[in-house]
Structure 1
Amino acid sequence: MSDSTIGIPDAVTTESLSYAETDMTLREIAGDLQEAHRELDQYRSSSLVLAQNLKELRIDAEAEGDSELVEIIHKLERSAMGIFERSKK
């Protein structure tokens, strides 16, 4: 039995599964899962960059003495880091 490009033997890639009122083959499910992993990696990377950019903005706001802006940015920074932490492998 040969393996397809997704690592599932060709003989079973056409097996289907019904869930959430949708019929999908194992090949389609594997493709969806691969895409989900890629998207999570992108969110993780983007959230870390965003957190760093927000930190720099917060430091500038602190230097200017804008405490209201500092508080808002700090909350956004924590939220971005929360996304990063939740998506750790």
Structure 2
Amino acid sequence: MSESTIGIPDAVATESLSYAETDMTLREIATDLQEAHRELDEYYSGSLVLAQNLKELRHCAEAEGNTELVETTRKLEQSAMAVVERSRE
């Protein structure tokens, strides 16, 4: 079983918990957590692709001598990679 798949036994699935001023069952909490894991995986993948695209744009800008674009894409690439790192912590 992966971290993103949380099995909830029927015997306790309807047990409720008050969270953020809302009552939720354990099954609902498990579903929300599973969705959060899926979204983090999407951020991770999307940020990797974005970082690669920014890197390619930066290389083109370097070849053209466009220092402003080089610096901007470098910062954006670093930010995209920070998202990758944070999503895997």
TM-score normalized with structure 1 length: 0.91
Query: Pairwise mapping of residues 51-66 of structure 1 onto structure 2 (< 5 A)?
Result: 51-66=51-66
Structure 2: how far apart are the matches of 1:27 and 1:88? 25
Q: Could you list the runs of 5+ residues in structure 1 that have no partner in the other structure?
A: 1-5
Give the AA of the match of 1:23: D
Count of residue pairs brought into register by the alignment? 85
Query: Pairwise mapping of residues 4-83 of structure 1 onto structure 2 (< 5 A)?
Result: 7-83=7-83
Q: Could you list the runs of 5+ residues in structure 2 that have no partner in the other structure?
A: 1-5
Following superposition, the deviation at residue 35 of structure 1 comes to 0.2
For 1:26-45, what per-residue CA distance to the aligned partner results, in whole angstroms no more than 9, with x for missing partners?
Answer: 01000000000000000001
Structure 2: how far apart are the matches of 1:80 and 1:7? 33
| Bigger radius of gyration | 1
Structure 2: how far apart are the matches of 1:69 and 1:8? 51
Give the AA of the match of 2:75: K
CA RMSD of aligned residues (A): 1.4
Structure 2: how far apart are the matches of 1:87 and 1:20? 23
Structure 1: how far apart are the matches of 2:28 and 2:65? 54
Bigger RCO of structures 1 and 2 (CA < 8 A, at least 6 apart) = 2
SS in 1 for 2:45: helix
| Runs (4+) off by over 6 Å | none
